[in-house]
Amino acid sequence: MDLSALSVAQLNAVATELSGAIAKDRLKSYKPYSKQKEFHAAGAEHSERLLIAGNQLGKSVAGAAEWAIHLTGRYPDWWEGAEFKSPVTMWASGVTSEGTRDNPQRLLVGPPAIESAWGTGMSPKDALDGWSRAMGVANLLDSVTVRWGGGGDIQAGTSILGFKSYEKGREKWQGPTLDGVWFDEECPLDIYTEGLTRTNNGQRGQFAIMTFTPLLGLSDVVSLFLMPDSQK
């Protein structure tokens, strides 16, 4: 297409169409910057990872992108991190139910209050197979099923994504075997331990990521990563 021959109105229409297409497949358009790419690559050798940075610097975006990649099995050419060879069962979590809805769920699925826009998050629309709503909080999802495989007509199975919050307490974190847990925001040590335990018998054994801006100082969870010897 010769863009130089188009009017301003036509150029605006093309820009709108392109932005809409990108929004509908954010996963394909995700291009991590160096620190995000380093974080992803570390998953090939490390079962537990922490990405700390300031606000609005792409921590949660990196977490959502990685989870969507594992849930769909659509590993990009630049990927050097951990890979799963079959559909996965994973959790994404936040401090409160509302926080889980407004951050991990929004980034993975799309705007919580606009069901017609679900599939504009990191999980592509053609990969979303279904969902169940949670009780008690508007527009909060309990779980999502995601088609795993190459996309299109060739699919190898279905992944499951569940949403959790720390405020529910450790008891609500007991349950099924998982392949991975994403903690978006810092959590209490007992929640982290319980979540990690859920992955002991997953496809890769223990597998967890945490993304947050450090606001609690040198907490027990931060110490696990920055001062591991102190936890022995």
**Catalytic positions, written as ranges:** 185
Structure tokens at 212: 């947050």
Q: Rounded CA gap, 211 and 22, in Å?
A: 24
**Which residue is listed with tokens 């995700």?**
30
Structure tokens at 196: 């990690």
Alpha carbon distances (Å) from 128 to 119, 120, 207: 7, 10, 23
Distance of CA 204 to the CA centre of its chain: 17
Q: Rounded CA gap, 104 and 143, in Å?
A: 12
